[in-house]
Chain A
Amino acid sequence: MIRPVVATAMMLVSMAAAPVALAQDTRTPRAPDTDETVTVTRGARLNVNNFAGEVVIRTWDRDELHVVARHSSRSKVAIRNTPATVSVSSSSSSGVASVDYEITAPAWMPVKVDGTYNFVNIDGARAEVSATTVRGDIVVKGGTGFVTARSIEGEVMVEAARGRINVASVNERIRITGSSGDIVAETTNGDISLTDVEATSVEAGTVNGNLTFQGSVNSGRYRFTTHNGNITLNVPETASATFSVRTYQGSFRTNLPLKGASPADARRGRRVTFTLGSGSAEVELETFNGTIRIQRPGTTQSRSQGRDREAAGGSHRE
C-alpha cells in the first residue's frame, strides 16, 4: 500500500510534467527564416535549386508564389522573378546551404527541382514537373506533359500523372500509380510497380528486382525486362494483347485463357507467343532468372500452386 505522502508527491510530479509533455507532443514547427510572396507572370516556370534539404511544393489557383524556408542564419534564400522564370536558390557563408522549403505555386506553373541531397514532394501540379536528386526520395502527385523524376539513392513515386512519364532510380524502387500516357521506368537494384495505369506505351526495366503491372492493356506497346526478378502482369480477361514471353532460367504461369503453345516451352530464352482477345497490344516480357506471370487482377500467389498453376498443353485455364 502506498503511503499518502508518497502518492501525493507522485501526483505533484506528474502534474508538473504534464505541461512539458504536452508542449513536446504539439511539435510546433520552428518559425521560418524566409517567408516571401511574389506575384508571378502567367507562363513563367519555377526553378528551385537546393543543395540539401527538403523541397515541398503545393499548388493553388493564385498567380503568386509563396516561399517559406527554414535554414541557418548563415544561409540566405534568393528569389529571382522574371516573366519567364522564377528561380529560388540559396547561398551560405559556410559554403553549402541546407534549406527546407515549403513553396506554394500556381497549379499552372511548370516546376523544376534540382539538388543533391533533397527530399522532394510535389503535389497538385497541373503542368510539367521535373525533379532530380542524388540522395533522397521523390514523390510527385500530379503533373501533365513531361513528368520526370530521377534519384540515385532514393525511391521514386509518381501518382496521378498524365503524359510522358520518365522516372529512374538506381538503388531503390519505383512506384507509379493512377497515371496515364507513355511511361519509362528504370532502376538497377529495385522493384518497379505500375498500378492502375492506363498507358499507351510502357518501357520498364530493372536488373535486380521484380516488375509488377496492373492496368489496362488494349493497344500500344509494353516492354518489361529484368535480369534477376519476376514479372507479374495483372490484366483483366477482357484485355486484348499479344504476349511475347522469354525467360532463360525461369518459368511462365498464367490463369488467363491465353491462346498459344504450352507455357512449358518458355525456357532457355525461347520466345513463346500467347494471345488474349484479338491481340491488339504488343507486350514483351523478358527475364533471365525469374518467373513470368500473366494473371487476373487479385490473383494471390500460393507456393503450393493451388490457384495460380502452370497450365499444361493447350489449356491455360485454372
Chain B
Amino acid sequence: MNLPKGSSMDAYTDRLSEYLDDEDLDSLDRARIEDHLDTCSACRAVLAELRDVSARAGTLTDGAPAADLWPGVVARIATIPIGRPAARRISFTVPQLVAASLALMLLTGVMVWVARIGGTRVDIEPMAAAPGGDPRFTPAVEIADFADVSFDAAIADLEKALAAGRDTLDPQTVRVLEENLRAIDRAIDQSRQALIDDPANLFLNTHLAAARQRKLALLRSATALATKG
C-alpha cells in the first residue's frame, strides 16, 4: 500500500524496515521515505538503530542446544505396550438363545400385566430420619432449591415488556390481568411453602412447575396484547 502524501510519522517508521531491506517498496514510496528522512531526525535515528541491529545479527553463528530432550522422549514411548489385551469371548448355542428370548418375552408380558391390572399403586412416603436412629443409616435431607434461573429470567423479561406496553391497554384489562397474575403467584407461593415442609413431594413439585408455566403463558398473552396495541 502506498504511503499517502502527508502521512504521520508512525506511518514512515513502520516502513523503515522494508526500506532498509529494500523489500515491497515501489519507487514512489521509497522517494517519499527518503524525502521524509531528509527532514525528520527521529526517523533517521530509528533507521540507524535498525542498521545496527541488522549488522550485529549478521555476525551471529548457529550452535547446538545445551541439552537435547528428544532421546529421553523416544525411550519413554518405546516402553508403552502396543495393542489391547485379548477380549474374553462368550457365546451361546441357538437353543440357549431361543430359551433366553422366550424368557424375556414372558417377563415383559408379566410386567405389563401387573402394570395394567395390578392392584393399588400408592406413592411410597419419602424416607426421613427416625428420631434417635443410627446416624450411620440416616440419609441427609437437603432442602430443595426452587429457584429456576431461566424461569425467573423469562418472567422478568415478560414483566418488563408488559410494563412498557401497559399504557396501550384498557385500565380495566390491566387490573384483570394483574389480579389473575397475583392469583397464580399465590398458588406458586402456597406450593413453595408446602414444599419447604415436604421437599420430596412429587405432586407439589409438578404442581409448582405447572403454576409457573401458567404464569408464563398468561404473561405471554398479556404482553402480546400490549404490544399489539
Contact across chains for B173 and A135 when beta carbons are under 8 A apart: yes
Interface bin, chain A: 20 to 34
How far, in whole Å, are A260 and B177 apart by their CA atoms in the complex?
42
Residue B152 at the A interface, CB < 8 A?
A: no
Residues of the B chain whose Cβ atoms lie less than 8 Å from the Cβ of A289: 190
Does B105 have its Cβ within 8 Å of any Cβ on chain A? no
Within A153-197, the residues touching B (CB, 8 Å) are 153, 170-171, 188-189
Whether A227 and B120, one on each chain, are in contact in the complex, defined by CB atoms closer than 8 angstroms, is no
A273 touches B121 (CB 8 A): yes
Q: In the complex, which residue of chain B has the Cβ closest to the Cβ of A168?
A: B221
Within the complex, what minimum Cβ distance (angstroms) separates B44 from chain A? 78
In the complex formed, the residue of B with least CB distance to A287 is: B207
Query: Which one of B35-43, B48-56, B86-94, B196-204 is at the A interface?
Result: B196-204
- Kindly list chain A residues whose C-beta atoms are within 8 Å of the C-beta of B177: 152, 170
B211 near A207: Cβ-Cβ < 8 Å: yes
B121:A271 contact, CB within 8 angstroms: yes
A134: interface (CB < 8 Å): yes
Chain A residue with Cβ nearest B121: A273
Quick check: is B123 within 8 A (CB to CB) of the other chain?
Answer: yes
The answer to whether A268 has its CB under 8 Å from any CB of chain B is yes
- Please give, as numbers and ranges, the residues of chain A lying within 8 Å of B221 by CB-CB distance: 152, 170
Nearest-neighbor residue (CB-CB) of A289 within chain B = B190
Contacts of B198 in A (CB 8 A): 268-269
Q: Given the known A-B contacts A135-B170, A288-B207, are A272 and B120 also in contact in the complex, defined by CB atoms under 8 Å?
A: yes
CA of A261 to CA of B198 in the docked complex: distance in angstroms?
A: 23
From 260 to 314 in chain A, residues with beta carbon under 8 angstroms from any chain B beta carbon are 260-261, 265, 268-273, 279, 286, 288-289
Instruction: Decide if A153 touches B183 in the complex (CB within 8 Å).
Output: no
Chain A residues with Cβ below 8 Å from B9 are none
Whether the pair B176, A170 counts as a contact (CB closer than 8 A) is yes
Give bound CA distance, A270 to B180, whole Å. Answer: 28
B187 part of interface (Cβ distance < 8 Å): yes
Contacting pair B180 A227 (CB below 8 A): no
CB nearest to B173 among chain A residues: A134
Interface size on B, residues (CB 8 A): 30
Structural contact, A248 and B203, CB atoms closer than 8 A: yes
Contact present for B183 and A208 (CB under 8 Å): yes
Which of B120, B172, B210 has the most C-beta atoms of chain A within 10 angstroms of its own C-beta? Answer: B120
Binary contact readout B172-214 vs A (1 if CB under 8 angstroms, 0 otherwise): 1100110110011001001100100010011110010011001
Using Cβ atoms and an 8 Å threshold, which residues of chain A touch B156? none
Taking a contact as CB atoms under 8 Å apart, the answer to whether A227 and B187 are in contact is yes
Q: Does A85 count as interface, using CB distance less than 8 angstroms?
A: no
Q: Which applies to chain B's interface (DSSP): helix, strand, loop or mixed?
A: helix
Say if the beta carbon of A70 comes within 8 Å of chain B: no
- Smallest CB separation, B32 vs chain A (Å): 69
B225 within 8 A of A: yes
- Whether B180 contacts A189 by the Cβ 8 Å rule is yes
Task: Tell me if A261 and B194 are in contact (CB < 8 A).
Answer: no
A268-B198, A269-B203 as given contacts; A153 in contact with B176, CB under 8 Å: yes
Asked if A207 and B187 sit within 8 Å, CB to CB, the answer is yes
Closest A residue to B191 by CB, please name it. A288
Are A270 and B123 in contact, CB atoms less than 8 angstroms apart? yes
In this assembly, does B122 line the interface, its C-beta being within 8 Å of a C-beta of chain A? yes
B188 to chain A, nearest CB (A): 9
Residue of A nearest to B206 (CB): A286
Closest CB in chain A relative to B56 CB, distance in Å: 84
- Complex CA–CA separation, A271 to B124 (angstroms): 10
Q: Does B216 contact A (CB under 8 A)?
A: no
Residues of B within 8 A of A207 (CB): 180, 183-184, 187, 211, 214
Within the complex, the shortest CB–CB distance from B191 to chain A, in Å, comes to: 7
Q: Is B3 an interface residue (CB 8 A)?
A: no
Q: Does A246 contact B (CB under 8 A)?
A: yes
The complex places the Cα of A227 from the Cα of B198 at a distance, in Å, of 17
* A288 and B172 within 8 A (CB): no
- Cross-chain pairs A/B with CB under 8 angstroms, 15 sampled: A134-B170, A152-B177, A152-B221, A170-B176, A171-B179, A188-B214, A189-B183, A205-B214, A227-B187, A268-B201, A270-B123, A270-B203, A272-B122, A286-B203, A288-B207
- Show the binding face of A for B, using Cβ within 8 Å: 134-135, 152-153, 170-171, 188-189, 205, 207-208, 225, 227-228, 246, 248, 260-261, 265, 268-273, 279, 286, 288-289
Other A-B contacts than A269-B202, A288-B191, 11 sampled, CB-CB below 8 A, are A152-B173, A153-B173, A170-B221, A188-B184, A248-B201, A248-B204, A261-B120, A269-B123, A269-B198, A270-B123, A286-B207
